[in-house]
Structure 1
């Protein structure tokens, strides 16, 4: 019998960039701190970083959603 396991990076087409690693780590820390809704997640990112590359550094809902869509392509 062959066991089927999820490969966590099975959809990845390339290695993560340093920015993507930092963003992922910050999002994980925000979730661990109980920030599960978008406004509180964005507050955390604005406090802890990394800065948003689509704006002057400030995270907002539009920039976050646009960046997540790009990263998901």
Structure 2
């Protein structure tokens, strides 16, 4: 896995659907699980959704917290 993908989870927004405009890291687990069952979209978006699903499913979302804090500190 490329470490920069973790940063993209915190910046890339969902481009369509019920959660359009929400960053991928903030999507609900049930929505990610639905994609896992139905199939992830092609390309980078699908890759990011699949990664976020894995983090959520394996209770590893905490790995994003240092990146979140670093991002908030940069804008303050």
Structure 1 and Structure 2 fold alike (TM over 0.5): no
Considering Cα pairs closer than 8 Å and 6+ residues apart, tell me whether 1 or 2 has the greater RCO: 2
TM-score, scaled relative to structure 2? 0.30
Structure having the higher helix fraction is 2
**If you compute each CA radius of gyration, which structure gives the higher value, 1 or 2?**
1
